[in-house]
Chain A
Amino acid sequence: MAASVIVDRKTQISQACQSGEEFARIYYEKFDKQRHLISNLYEQSGNVVWNGNYVTGRENIGKFFQNLPASESDLLSLDAQPILDEFVQGQTTILVHAAGNIKFSGKNRCKFSESFLLTAKQGNDGSVWRVVSDTFRFHEPLPT
Chain B
Amino acid sequence: ITFDLDQTVELPKAHGSYFPSDDVKLLIIQFLEQYYVVYDSGDRQQLLEAYHDHAMFSLFVSKQSSREAGPDEYIHESRNLLRIKDSNFRNRLLKFGRLAVVSALSELPASQHEPSSFTVDVGFVLPTLMNFTVSGVFRGVGKSKHKQQLWTFSRAFVVVPQGRGFSVVNDNLFISNASHSQVEAYKLTPTPSPISSPGPSTEK
Contact = CB atoms under 8 A, between A and B. Distances in A.
A9 B62 contact: no
Interface in B10-45: 10-18, 20
B18 A13 contact: no
A132 B82 CA distance: 23
Nearest to A99: B174
Contacts of B58: 79, 81
A139 B179 contact: yes
B64 A141 contact: no
Contact of B60 (A52, A69, A79): A79
A69 B9 CA distance: 5
Interface in B107-129: 117, 119, 121-124, 128-129
Nearest to B171: A81
B129 A87 contact: yes
A11 B56 CA distance: 15
Contacts of A17: 81, 87, 90
A141 B185 CA distance: 7
Given A49-B18, A117-B131, A143 B169 contact: no
A51 B13 CA distance: 8
B16 A52 contact: yes
A32 interface: no
Interface residues of A, number: 56
Interface residues of B, number: 59
A78 B81 contact: yes
Interface string A79-119: 11111101111000001010111001111001101010100
Contact of B82 (A50, A77, A82, A89): A77
Contact of B172 (A84, A115, A139, A141): A115
A45 to B, nearest CB: 10
Interface stretch (B140-148, B150-158, B191-199): B150-158
B182 interface: yes
A102 B25 CA distance: 29
A97 B94 contact: no
Contacts of B182: 139-141
A111 B169 contact: no
B158 A79 contact: no
B121 A111 contact: no
Contacts of A50: 12
A2 B94 CA distance: 19
Interface string A37-59: 00000000001011111100000
B179 to A, nearest CB: 5
B181 interface: yes
21 contacts: A14-B87, A14-B90, A51-B14, A51-B15, A68-B11, A69-B11, A76-B62, A78-B81, A81-B56, A86-B54, A97-B60, A97-B172, A99-B176, A113-B154, A113-B174, A117-B158, A132-B123, A132-B124, A137-B121, A139-B135, A139-B176
The 4 closest A-B pairs by CB, nearest first: A52-B15, A133-B123, A77-B62, A51-B14
Given A21-B82, A49-B18, A139-B182, 19 more contacts: A13-B90, A13-B91, A14-B90, A51-B12, A52-B14, A52-B121, A53-B15, A67-B9, A76-B82, A78-B80, A79-B59, A87-B158, A89-B128, A111-B64, A111-B176, A132-B123, A135-B121, A139-B178, A141-B181
